[in-house]
Structure 1
Amino acid sequence: MTTSYEAGFIALLESLITTINGTIPVMADPTNFETRVFQLMEAFKSNLTTLITQGTELPVGSIYANADVATNPSTLLGYGTWVSFGEGRCLMGYDVSQTEFNAGGKTGGAKTVALVASQNGAHIHDVTDPGHAHIKASTFSTAGGASADPNLWPVSLSIFGGGPIATSPNFTGVSVNSSGSGNPHQNLAPYVTVYYWRRTA
């Protein structure tokens, strides 16, 4: 027969279990005080451990990172369903003011980039000129009235009272050298790799 002291102690243990939202075990022989106390203590311990664990669990949607161990967090932490996350990508903080970052789960960026003409900085191009001449097909008159071959006249006509003369065009290989190759360049910030996991359940 259970004494009032024993009944009070059992009631206290059951109250503690109820307080932490635990489940009071059903006893086959509720009159056995020692067995009853042992089972209630074990139930309290188990429910308290569950409560503590639940209070420290990372909620669904959380990101877990580990710099050294690639083991799934469900094994390491003992709870949840986790999937590998962000392979080969950096994580970016949410920013409502920037359309690229104003919602969770957005992706973007590129590992390599090939610049277009409008993105090139100011630069110069070398000109290759192998040398050429312009030819005047007919003779002209000098201020003294003599005729001369303009191709052999080495000085300006203006000192003899002459005016501008027309020359024929000459295309003899002047070219502008190209610059750049158009190949993509590396677009990586300094980085360090870690194991990312996302909790899904």
Structure 2
Amino acid sequence: MAADAAFSFRAELGRKALHVLALGIPLSMAWIGAPLAVWIVTAAALIGVTGDVLRAVWPRFRALIRTIFGGLMRPSEWSDAAGRITLNGATCVLVACALAGWLFPLAVAVPALCAALLADAAAAIVGRRLGRHPWGNHGRTAEGSAAFVIMAAVVLVGAGLPLVAVGGAALMGAVLEALPLSLNDNIAVPLGMGTVLAVLG
């Protein structure tokens, strides 16, 4: 998702710190193992989706969430219009973990999720701080995409995956992260990378 103009770099750092903390989800999935881990993260994803639905229809709950987490949420993630349901980034990460767990073996899902989380953080920080060559008008830069590819490749190489799979998945993730997709990139990127790893790895 492209950065909102009103979202400060400091807030971006806080948000990406949560991406790093979210590594605990796929790592816990690897530790617990399938199928239990997949059922647990699926339940967590359903809770997250339920919370976002409640934000859309229950003003008091929306106000509470805004008070607690407002500083880490992009303006585009708010469900301020009556009945408008918008999944926040954290919910999308949980949904991605659940879908990856169902679609791929954990040997593929876990590296794809870890690489996507860290590479997305690297792309956002490098892109906002050092980006000088934008891709179109949706907030992505060549520098951010390069940071994505490098970080994703480092993580996937560390996971012991074949180089052809590493290169293909890193490039796929960078492309999906840079495109202005209607599907949240926290979902699209790890699933796209996981698909490449499943085919080539």
Structure 1 length as normaliser, TM-score? Answer: 0.21
Where relative contact order (Cα < 8 A, 6+ residues apart) is larger, the structure is: 1
The structure with the greater share of residues assigned to helix is 2
Bigger radius of gyration among the two: 1
Q: Which has the higher strand share?
A: 1
Q: What's the TM-score, normalizing by structure 2? A: 0.21
